[in-house]
Amino acid sequence: MNYLITGGSGFIGSHLVEHLLKNGHSVINIDNFDDFYDYRIKIRNTLESTDNKSEFEFTNKENDVCRLVSLTESAQYKLHYLDIRDKDALNAIFNAYKIDLVIHLAALAGVRPSIERPLDYEAVNIRGTQNLWELCKEFAVKKFICASSSSVYGNNEKVPFSETDNVDKPISPYAATKKACEVLGHVYHHLYHIDMMQLRFFTVYGPRQRPDLAIHKFTKLISDGQEIPFYGDGSTARDYTFIDDIIDGILKSIRYLENNDNVYEILNLGESEVVTLSEMLSELEKALDKTANKKMLPMQPGDVLKTNADITKAKTLIDYKPTTNFQNGIKKFVEWFLGNRINNS
C-alpha cells in the first residue's frame, strides 16, 4: 500500500512511519519541520524511523532538511518538506503519486500556545486539513484517518469520556480546531464518500515524545536538578497512553478502513487508566531516582481538569487493546531519555 502521512517526522508520525516501512509499505511523508520546537529533533526522528545510521552534522534548518530529503530518499520512502497550508505544493504531491490512504497527523499542537496564536491554529489545523480533503476529493482518494484529541471533551463532568458525549463546549482554540475538523470531516464523507476515522488521542507519551510535553519536560528538568513548573495542587489527571498502544490503534484503524466502505467513525484511543499530576511526578522521581524541586503555580487557562477515555467502542470496532501500564511506560521513556540525552538538549 502507498500511504501519505502528514507530520511523519513528529513524535507519533515517526513511529508510524517506522512500523509501516518495516511491514513493506510505501510512505510519503509531508512535514514542514515547524519551529514549534527544535527542528533537529525531527531530523533525528526521521533518520531513526527510516533506519538510517548516517552521521548527521547540523548547520541550519533549510540546508539540513534538504540534505535529509536526499539522504532518506528511496523507492519505499519519500520525504517532502512543505506546509499543508500550501495547497499548490500539496497538489503536486497528489499528482505525483497514487495514494491509497491518508493519515493526517500534522497540526499546530498545544492548548496554551493556541490561546496566544488562535489564528495560526485555525490556518494550519482547519484550513490545512481542508486542503487535504479537497485534494482527496479531486484525486479520488477515498480513505482518510485524521488525528483528533481528547481536548475536545473540555471539562466534561461525565467520566469516562465517550464518543457519544456532547463536545460543543471546547475551552481552548486548539480543542475548537480539532472539533471543527471532526465536523468538517463528516461533510466530506457525506458529500464525497471519503471513508474516514477521527482518532481522539489521549495524552500520548513514550520515546521521541515532544520536549514541550509534561513528562518529557519534567524528566529533563528533574535530571538537570532544575525547578519544574507544577500547575495547581497536583489533582489534575490524565489518561496517559503509551506510544506503542497509539500506533497499534492507528494500524488497526487503517486495516478497518481498508476492509470496509461507507465509514465515518470517531474513536477514543486511550489507556483508560487515569493518573494524577502528583502520581505522574512520583513515578518519574522513582524512575530517575531523584527528587523534583517543584515551583508551585496556579492552573493555566484552557487546561482541563481530567481526561479519561471510554475505549469500549475502539475495543469492539477495531480490537484495540492497550497493553502498557503507566509504570512500565514511564520506565521505558526514562530509559530512552537517558540513552538519548543529545536529543533532549
Q: What is the mean pLDDT of residues 290-318?
A: 93
Tens of pLDDT, residue by residue over 101-152, are 999 999 999 999 999 999 999 999 999 999 999 999 999 999 999 999 999 9
The confidence band for 81, taking pLDDT boundaries of 50, 70 and 90, is: very high
pTM of the model: 0.95
Residue 218: name the closest of 268, 283, 165 by CA.
Answer: 283
Helix 129-139 with 87-96: angle, nearest 10 deg: 40
The continuous run of DSSP H or E covering 46 comes out as helix 39-49
Q: Which positions ≥6 away from 344 have C-beta within 8 Å? A: 211, 216, 219, 220, 337
Residue 311: name the closest of 268, 273, 275, 274 by CA.
Answer: 268
Please give the Cα distance from 268 to 257 (Å, whole number): 16
Tens of pLDDT, residue by residue over 6-34, are 999 999 999 999 999 999 999 999 999 99
Please give the Cα distance from 334 to 312 (Å, whole number): 30
> pLDDT at position 341, please?
66
Which of 133-142, 265-274, 299-308 shows the lowest mean pLDDT across its residues?
299-308
Could you say which of 174, 205, 256, 320 is catalytic? 174
Per the annotation, the verdict on 174 as an active-site residue is: yes
Domain 2-204+241-271+308-323 maps to which CATH number in 3.20.20.100, 3.40.50.720, 3.40.605.10, 3.40.630.10? 3.40.50.720
Residue 123 DSSP class: I
Secondary structure class of 3 (helix, strand, coil): strand
Residue 254: name the closest of 185, 311, 199, 309 by CA.
Answer: 199
> pLDDT at position 300, please?
84
Q: Is the pLDDT of residue 260 over 50?
A: yes
